[in-house]
Amino acid sequence: MIENILQTQGAFAGAKTQGSKELGKDAFLRLLVTQLQHQDPLNPMDDKQFIAQLAQFSSLEQMNNIAAGINQLTQRAANQDLLAAAAFMGKEVVASGSGITKENGKVSSVDFTLQGDAAEVQVFVYDNAKNLVRTERLSGRQAGTSLYRWDGKDDAGTVLPDGRYTVTFAATAGDGSPVLVSTAVSGRVAAVERQDGAVQLRLTDGRTIALADVRTVTEATNTAASQ
């Protein structure tokens, strides 16, 4: 009904702000008043219809207020996470992940944890373009955590350039059954930043890890601080 009155009375342009595609509270009220002013005296708007339109407007306004409140809470929580993560600056962290970095010939290490004894552990190193550049086979390992450090070379023995790489593991038991492997990376936090709405910790070697993936936080050692 409101749309028909707007078309006949030309009130639509004045009810909407220039360039806006949504009706605000003031615009809605102006439209409602216009509707009342131009209704047929012999066939006035039914009071139930009038109350229903007011109820719809009230519900819409409440929903807008709730949405605005949620946005404010979300922004506040994101800022609090960023401030809390700032306390990790200069600290040594261990987090779930499999990324390593080669810089100036030096390669960062990665920890892998076996959930059971393994007769063989295969290691796969991928470059930043997801190309497999190195495959290694490690001798049997007992359940627990071990350290792996790639030598920075491909399968042909060629030294690969500096950059970011990813390491994955596949382990099998003596009977050929698979053994679950999880990986973790560690390093010293150099910066805290927000990416795609999530708080990220940037390590001194350039790697980034999600705050949610951090397992442990410790004070940086003198050796780590000098790197």
Residue at a domain's end among 53, 84, 115: 84
CATH for 216: 2.60.40.4070
State the total domains in the chain.
2
Kindly state the DSSP code that residue 16 receives in the 8-state scheme: S
Task: Tell me the residue type at 49.
Answer: Q
Report the candidate in 83, 82, 181 with the shortest Cα–Cα distance to residue 123. Answer: 181
Report the range of poorest mean pLDDT among 22-26, 36-40, 99-103: 22-26
Residue at a domain's end among 23, 52, 84: 84
CA 40-42-47 angle, to 5 degrees, is: 75
For 187-197, what is each residue's pLDDT tens digit?
A: 899 988 887 77
Provide the domain limits for residue 96. 90-225
Residue 169 has what pLDDT? 96
Radius of gyration of the chain (CA): 31
Looking at the fold, whether 149 and 220 belong to one and the same domain comes out as: yes
For 104-160, what is each residue's pLDDT tens digit?
A: 888 988 999 999 999 999 999 999 999 999 999 998 899 999 999 999 999 999 999
Looking at the fold, whether 70 and 121 belong to one and the same domain comes out as: no
Instruction: Find the mean pLDDT for residues 16-20.
Output: 46
Looking at the fold, whether 28 and 114 belong to one and the same domain comes out as: no
Contact between 162 and 124 (Cβ < 8 Å): no
Task: Kindly write down the DSSP assignment for every residue of 113-135, as one continuous string.
Answer: EESS-BSEEEEEEE-TTS-EEEE
Q: When comparing pLDDT for 36 and 161, which is higher?
A: 161
Is residue 32 over pLDDT 70?
A: no
Share the mean pLDDT of the chain.
78
Residue at a domain's end among 84, 110, 133: 84
Looking at the fold, whether 105 and 199 belong to one and the same domain comes out as: yes
Task: Kindly write down the DSSP assignment for every residue of 23-74, as one continuous string.
Answer: --HHHHHHHHHHHHHTS-TTSPPPHHHHHHHHHHHHHHHHHHHHHHHHHHHH
CA 81-222-211 angle, to 5 degrees, is: 20
For the record, the structure tokens of 36 come out as: 């009342």
The pTM for the full model equals: 0.58
For the record, the structure tokens of 21 come out as: 């595609």
Looking at the fold, whether 31 and 123 belong to one and the same domain comes out as: no
